[in-house]
Structure 1
Amino acid sequence: MAFTLPRYQEPDFSALGFAPDAQFIPAPRDGAAPEQYHATTIFPEYFKVGGRWLLAKESRMDCVAVYEDGAIAVREFRRLKQGDLVAVGRAEDGSQGIYVHTAPFARPGKAEAEAFSFRQGRSRETAYSKDYDSLYELLEHEKEHGFVTWVLGPACSFDKDSREAFSKLVAGGYVHALLAGNALATHDLEAAYLGTALGQDVYTQESRPGGHYNHIDTINRVRQYGSIPAFIKGEGIDNGILYSCVKQGVPFVLAGSIRDDGPLPEVYADVYEAQNAMREQVKRSTTVISMATVLHSIATGNMTPAYRVLEDGSIRPLYFYCVDVSEFAVNKLRDRGSLAVKTMVTNVQDFVVNVAKGLNL
């Protein structure tokens, strides 16, 4: 069955009765919002201005809405400038001119869930066969019509088969951007350069003599070249996740952390520069798949809305998958407000291999 996007259902504003215009108050200083500011969510949000309901086209949770140039911009607190007109009001039902649309893609006629039934959560006992089939259909659609961003933790680079499978996904056009940290890139490049990840053979998982030097030797070698692409070219690297991204022109964002070794030249040392670079890719995304990284998953989830406004003005859902062997990891993402996420509790290396096989790569 061909994949079809659910249709967006605009709010029935007439059902809200009389609603006043939203109130906007100037920001008192750079980086600070006025009291009673309205904090944005993952859902489509409308603000009534001059009797018209305006949709915030680019959104993310825990930010503020700013009225400028006849439109609503969603802005992080740190980006606020003194005098910016910030929406205020805590009611989200339209009574203060702000309406949060929490069911934009509800399917008409779908049966109500029973009040009591078994296995409604997502855990290691969940059967994911239908999820895989749905994901294959979605990725085939997104290859031609969307923008798929993958968020990878270092575990994705520890296995020969998973590295090869992800490389096939990149080459097949199913990866449009990669978000990761210094570790994922380092271990992937180490595997391509020395055949190990943290000193262990990526196929046998046996430790090599002196292998604890391998990751920092790799970082040091890349730094001598000055960039990852230069290292790949200079050392004749011909495999791996980063190699495939460079070869196919897929952008990657490597966000640094306080524990990083090296780091690699492309790693962002400034956390807000990293956040800006990540969000530039998220703003283009129609599907996000996050694997084996709690902090990067939550960071990406916090800047990812549940919808995307396309260039033609149509509105579609933004799909978010989180895959981890730990129930804690996937549940923590849901607990942080990313309610639209689809979670899969499974080994990420097996997951990548299954996805590549399911797409006949």
Structure 2
Amino acid sequence: MNIEVIELKGHIIDSNILSKTLDKIIIMGGDFNIEHLDVGKTNDNESYAKILVKGKDHEHLDDILREIQQIGAIISTKNVNTKKAPKDCVLPDNFYGTTNLPTYVKIDGVWKKVRDIEMDCVIVIETINGEKIPICKRMGLVKEGEEVVVGYDGIRVVPLERTREKDVFGFMQSEVSPEKPLEYYSKTMMDEMKEIKKNNGKIIWVVGTAIAHTRAHTILEELIRKGYVDALFCGNGFATMDIEYALFNTTLGMNNECNVVKGGYKSHLVAINEMWKHGGIKNAVEKGILKKGVLYECVKNNIPYVIGGSLRDDGPLPDTIRDVVKAQDEMRKYIQEADMCVILATMLHGIATGNMLPASVKTVCIDMNPYVVTRLQDRGTHQALGIVSDPCAFMHMLKDLLCE
């Protein structure tokens, strides 16, 4: 029969998980019967639903089950299925594609959490010290013969749940809008950052060129000195502007009075050349050539930074990782340890980082362009708090709060 029993557990009503599941079944042309529904009535009580899902045929039912599994439906309690990768970077047919939500697979009767979860990857079962461990990997890292999870049996996705209490970081708590009280959000964000650092958590910052061009990078320097930055992601453009400002007090030849200085059109190229001349950013700091700036503070305070390259880069800097896949993997080293991620004025690096973040990471995206914020959420970073505002002005609010 083309029928399957599924279960939903947790705050499935407050978080719209139940309604989303039923909507998805109907939209895909299926049908359902709710066999049991137990509604939790307090913040501590979870709800439970047992639902009979019907499809037109076996293939149609499988399509429905795969979709609602991504929402959080428990499809099967069987052990997970795997197939060997036929070649390096080649996946077996019917491979399971991951979300960024916490995911568990059942191995030999035991539910095990998938390590390093991120969206648009696969799950590989590796044997480590005699124990079978599920690990999330991007396709390009899969090797011939590795056991790749296939189908949907033995997989459980834990959906993000909307809190019943007021929390700006609650899952999809508010829509993207420029009409938000920035003072409230900046204070809430600073309070959250302080709480994270109090608990020895880690905060990643992802910044674009506007942060340097508007001089807001000087505030980021202070945040580094105060201990609120644990890793920095940026492009060649931001890094070059930061170094140009450190050397010449200009960005793209423009000084603090918004005047383009004589010969300033090539100042960024001179800055890049100086870094090559002295063997990179770290060496330039150690030799006393680079005496201030965000990257200077990163070197002085042992904060890791990843500079990812692109087709439009000048130079680029010797520290810029020109292979984008290698840049991704370097970013992944710090992403899995993050508790919070702040994305400022960068669409490409922001979305790229968002794609790699687990859904459990509290994410804030601040940009003048509402498209950047909505694009980040639409691409799958549902946990992101979107603020349509001037990131420079927002940084000045954070600076004021630092002194309180």
TM-score range, shorter chain: 0.7 to 0.9
| CA gap 1:8/1:99 in 2 versus in 1, 3 angstroms | farther
The match for 2:8 is none
1:120 CA drift (Å): 5.1
1:236 CA drift (Å): 4.3
Secondary structure of 1:333's aligned partner:
helix
The match for 2:5 is none
1:330 CA drift (Å): 0.9
Aligned runs of 1:157-172 on 2, under 5 Å? 157-160=212-215, 162-172=216-226
The match for 1:123 is 177
Of 194, 206, 213, the residue aligned with 1:140 is: 194
Query: 2:262 aligned with 1:205, yes or no?
Result: no
Q: Which runs of 5+ in 2 are unaligned?
A: 1-42, 51-72, 167-172
The alignment of Structure 1 onto Structure 2 pairs a total of residues equal to 329
Residues 32-75 of structure 1: CA deviation (Å, up to 9, x unaligned) = 11111111111111111111111113211000011112111001
The match for 2:156 is 99
Of 99, 110, 118, the residue aligned with 1:41 is: 99
| CA gap 1:73/1:322 in 2 versus in 1, 3 angstroms | same
Output the CA distance in 1 between the equivalents of 2:284 and 2:323. Answer: 23
Query: 2:347 aligned with 1:347, yes or no?
Result: no
Q: Which amino acid aligns with 2:232?
A: L
Residues 138-191 of structure 1: CA deviation (Å, up to 9, x unaligned) = 11022232011101111111133x122111100000001101111111001100
The match for 1:176 is 230
Output the CA distance in 1 between the equivalents of 2:331 and 2:379. Answer: 18
TM-score by length of 1: 0.85
TM-score by length of 2: 0.76
| Cα RMSD (Å) | 2.5
| CA gap 1:236/1:141 in 2 versus in 1, 3 angstroms | same
Percent same amino acid among aligned pairs?
A: 31
Aligned runs of 1:1-361 on 2, under 5 Å? 19-69=77-127, 70-89=132-151, 91=152, 96-103=153-160, 106-107=162-163, 109=164, 121-144=175-198, 145-160=200-215, 162-201=216-255, 203-307=256-360, 318-360=361-403
Which structure's CA Rg is the greater one? Answer: 2
Output the CA distance in 2 between the equivalents of 1:227 and 1:18. Answer: 53
Q: Which runs of 5+ in 1 are unaligned?
A: 1-6, 112-118, 308-317
Output the CA distance in 2 between the equivalents of 1:163 and 1:74. Answer: 35
8 Å Cα contact 1:11/1:101 also seen in 2: no
1:16 CA drift (Å): 5.2
Output the CA distance in 2 between the equivalents of 1:8 and 1:166. Answer: 39
8 Å Cα contact 1:142/1:174 also seen in 2: no
8 Å Cα contact 2:221/2:294 also seen in 1: yes
